[in-house]
Chains A and B, each alone.
Chain A
Amino acid sequence: DIQLTQSPSFLSASVGDRVTITCRASQGISTYLNWYQQKPGKAPELLIYGASALQSGVPSRFSGSGSGTEFTLTISSLQPEDFATYYCQQLNSYPRGFTFGPGTKVDIK
């Protein structure tokens, strides 16, 4: 199975900061990589799919890039509502199933 790692696991940032989170896959996955945001006590929400496509309704300050084994999620100007945990996720084609990264918690400095 393909494994995903994320770095950092925790970051402290201020409103207005530019934030970058990295997700690495143990083998190449083209651009089959999605990003989710989860706020405390809430279900995750889809932010980015296909490594770089913005899900409908997601603010444009979020962007994704990468292919193969290295991917990044960038928040161009951190807003108060962005303090949350972010997970990358990929789909194994066979046997079909999802793998999530361990998560990156973004906290207020």
Chain B
Amino acid sequence: QVQLVQSGAEVKKPGASVKVSCKASGYTFSSDDINWVRQATGQGLEWMGWMNPNSGNTGYAQKFQGRVTMTRNTSISTAYMELSSLRSADTAVYYCARGTLLPKGPYNHYVLDVWGQGTTVTVSS
């Protein structure tokens, strides 16, 4: 079955970096985008950015520009999200999600249809 499996929980100190992995299986990794979304405890969903595994092209939310880097290793069908200069406000669950197009009538709609299980990142001194 199609699934995304993320790396385990991380605890980091302020100012450090964290790199979260997201391994895809059950579909052709290069055929769909990987997006990253985070959620602080008790808060809503916050989109961070997308990456096209085929081209390596990326797009980041303005809030994270300069601090986030999304990469991939196509040989092992794995995407990565690295966030630098961590602060306590970055404490959250980080999700990867497949971005794909679903047809409805004559149009296609971009959706996040498969999600990883989430990776808890805790930033604390």
Contacts and interface: CB of A to CB of B under 8 A. Distances in A.
Interface of B is mostly: strand
Contact of A44 (B45, B46, B61): B45
Contacts of B113: 46, 55
B29 interface: no
Contacts, number: 69
B16 interface: no
Interface in B46-100: 46-47, 49-50, 59, 61-62, 95, 97
A43 B47 contact: no
Interface stretch (A10-18, A73-81, A99-107): A99-107
B112 interface: yes
Interface in A38-72: 38, 43-46, 49-50, 52-53, 55
Interface residues of A, number: 26
Interface of B: 35, 37, 44-47, 49-50, 59, 61-62, 95, 97, 102, 104-105, 107, 109-113, 115-118
Interface of A: 31-32, 34, 36, 38, 43-46, 49-50, 52-53, 55, 87, 89, 91, 95-103
